[in-house]
């Protein structure tokens, strides 16, 4: 089972879901651990199954109590003209993922887009809707959509 060849596109997917390069890497690693533990060749193609696992991992992380707060989650809107205050530490912001962590095909497409703004906007969607949008409209992958939706529907909200 060659999981490593899927790391780039899974990292891109998890990054869009979680808006954090660090958490995306953790999610991909957890996806690989779950894949290694539960691999069954009779399941069918590996790639859709990995996206099913990655969707489940991301949804679990989004529900988890140790989810890192983003700058937009930390407080109320400021009053116009008020003092800005101290800058927040870097781990509080939605940051771009290093290009070296993405697969080359995705990298070629994303260089000319507003990737960071899109990822930040995705965070306003409920997690399940975010997964569907990314799988269907961004990755253009209908095979994973059915698998991911089945995974999301089995989980409590």
Q: For the whole model, what pTM was predicted?
A: 0.60
**Backbone φ and ψ of 155, nearest 5°:** -90, 145
pLDDT score recorded for residue 76: 64
| Contact between residue 58 and residue 64 where contact means Cβ atoms under 8 Å apart | no
**By the 8 A CB rule, do 19 and 70 touch?**
yes
User: How high is the pLDDT of residue 137?
Assistant: 72
d(CA 47, CA 110): 21
pLDDT of residue 34: 95
pLDDT at 157: 47
CB-neighbour burial class of residue 47 (10 A; exposed 0-12, middle 13-18, buried 19+): middle
Copy the structure tokens of residue 65.
């109590």
What is the DSSP secondary structure assignment for residue 42, as one 8-state letter? G
The pLDDT of residue 121 is: 83
CB atoms within 10 A of CB 21: 17
Per-residue pLDDT of the chain (157 residues; tens, 9 = 90+): 688 999 999 999 999 999 888 899 999 999 999 999 998 888 788 888 999 999 999 999 998 876 555 555 556 666 777 776 777 776 666 666 666 666 666 665 555 555 677 787 888 889 888 888 888 776 666 654 555 555 555 555 4
CA 59 to chain centroid, in Å, comes to: 9
> What pLDDT sits at residue 151?
55
How many Å apart are CA 139 and CA 148, to the nearest integer? 13
- Are residues 10 and 50 in contact, defined by beta-carbon separation less than 8 angstroms? yes
């Amino acid at each position: 089972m060659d999981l490593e060849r899927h790391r780039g596109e899974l990292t891109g997917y998890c990054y869009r879901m979680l808006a954090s390069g660090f958490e995306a890497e953790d999610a991909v690693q957890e996806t690989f651990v779950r894949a290694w533990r539960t691999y069954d060749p009779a399941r069918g193609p590996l790639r859709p199954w990995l996206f099913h696992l990655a969707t489940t991992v991301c949804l679990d992380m989004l529900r988890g109590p140790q989810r890192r707060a983003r700058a937009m989650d930390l407080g109320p809107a400021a009053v116009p003209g008020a003092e800005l205050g101290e800058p927040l530490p870097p781990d509080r912001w939605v940051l771009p993922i290093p290009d070296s962590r993405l697969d080359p095909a995705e990298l070629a497409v994303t260089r000319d887009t507003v990737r960071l703004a899109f990822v930040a906007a995705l965070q306003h969607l409920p997690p399940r809707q975010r997964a569907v949008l990314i799988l269907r409209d961004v990755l253009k992958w209908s095979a994973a959509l059915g698998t991911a939706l089945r995974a999301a529907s089995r989980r409590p909200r």
